[in-house]
Amino acid sequence: MELLEMPADIAALGARMHAVLIRNRGRELQECFRRDDWTCHSCGFRFRGFMEVDHTISHDPRQPGGLRTICQFCHNLRHPVWSALRGRLRMIWAPSLSQEALNRMAWLALLASGDRAGKYVDHELADAANEIVAATRRRESIVASILGTSHPGGLFEAVFSVGPLCGSSDRMIALKLIGRSVRFWPVAADRIQSQVADPSASFSFWDGCRFTDIAELAVSEYWKRERTVDELRRLCAAHQAEIDA
């Protein structure tokens, strides 16, 4: 994520503004999802029925257009100040993983837990996903030891509010270093480790003009139809060295 290039007003936009933006635009949204085949333009993850729209040209309601399909995890990072303040992100140390690859892993880790009844759980896969989540915890403590905080709200506050007042070149250097090494893990993907908590409580998506909890049923439908298992295995293998490091 290009922390330095992100306009502060866009970074802080949240649910209210998006509700205004998509009001009465149902047909355009459906066209956008159909055209993009429900695939996130940022991380490439496809989850039919559970995508959001990105406003790539402008978030000004008077300037419609530029809609592209985006997943919730990638959309969170278009508006990181809002997401951080809502507790949706954890900062982790992962210089060799792109944010997009990490978001894909997070989706697959989330889906690997299957439905609550345990009907669609592949236990080997669920173990792999748990390992990934545990690795993100270790990486979170690395960030904390380097930055003095692992709270993304603190980082963004420094970037977007205090920083511009100082405008020092040290700030630019620090931000470049952080941008190169720190990634953001979606908290919603941690549900696999906290099976006691209601998973729907930590996960929501856009539907019309409101946030709606994702249905357990929909997750299990996805699980049945898409080749999530193969994909997560492949990703786990590809990133094993990274995860172990």
In the complex with Zn ion, which residue's Cβ is closer, 78 or 239? 78
42 scored as a contact of Zn ion (CB under 5 A): yes
**Type and span of the H or E element at 205:** strand 204-207
Give yes or no for residue 51 binding Zn ion (CB under 5 A). Answer: no
Q: Does 40 contact Zn ion by CB under 5 A?
A: yes
Helix H or strand E encompassing 184: strand 182-186
| 116-135 positions binding Zn ion, by CB under 5 A | none
Q: What is the helix, strand, coil percentage profile of the chain, to 5?
A: 55, 10, 30
- Compute the least distance from the CB of residue 69 to Zn ion, in Å: 9
Q: Which is nearer to Zn ion, 57 or 245 (CB)?
A: 57
Note whether 67 binds Zn ion by CB under 5 A.
no
* In the complex, minimum distance from the CB of residue 149 to Zn ion, in angstroms, rounded to a whole number: 26
State the nearest-atom distance from the C-beta of 77 to Zn ion, in Å.
Answer: 9
Binding mask 13-32 for Zn ion (x = CB under 5 A): --------------------
- In the region spanning residues 78 to 107, those forming contacts with Zn ion, defined by CB under 5 A, are 78, 103
Query: What's the rounded Cα separation, in Å, for the pair 137 and 142?
Result: 9
How many Å apart are CA 75 and CA 184, to the nearest integer? 12
Minimum distance from residue 75 beta carbon to Zn ion (Å): 6
Q: Is 74 in the site for Zn ion (CB under 5 A)?
A: yes
Please identify, using beta-carbon distances, which residue of 45 and 160 lies nearer to Zn ion.
45
Quote the CA–CA distance of 112 and 126 in Å, as a whole number.
5
Among 71, 89, 128, 182, binds Zn ion (CB under 5 A): 71
- Closest contact distance (angstroms) between CB of 47 and Zn ion is 9
For 181, list phi and psi in degrees, rounded to 5. Answer: -120, -20
Closest approach of Zn ion to the CB of residue 72, in Å: 8
Binding piece for Zn ion, criterion CB under 5 A, among 71-79, 122-130, 202-210, 229-237: 71-79
Q: Does 159 sit near Zn ion (CB under 5 A)? A: no
Contacts of 207 (CB under 8 A, 6+ apart): none
* 43 touches Zn ion (CB under 5 A): yes
Instruction: Say if CB 184 and CB 80 are below 8 A apart.
Output: yes
Stated length of the chain = 245
Is 24 exposed, middle or buried (CB count within 10 Å of its CB: 0-12, 13-18, 19+)? exposed
Binding residues with Zn ion: total (CB under 5 A): 8
CB of 98 to Zn ion, least distance (A): 12
Closest C-alpha to 187, from 39, 72, 94: 72
Minimal CA–CA distance to 183: which of 32, 43, 26?
43
* DSSP H or E stretch at residue 15: helix 15-22
- Using CB under 5 A as the criterion, which residues of the chain lie in contact with Zn ion when the complex forms? 40, 42-43, 45, 71, 74, 78, 103
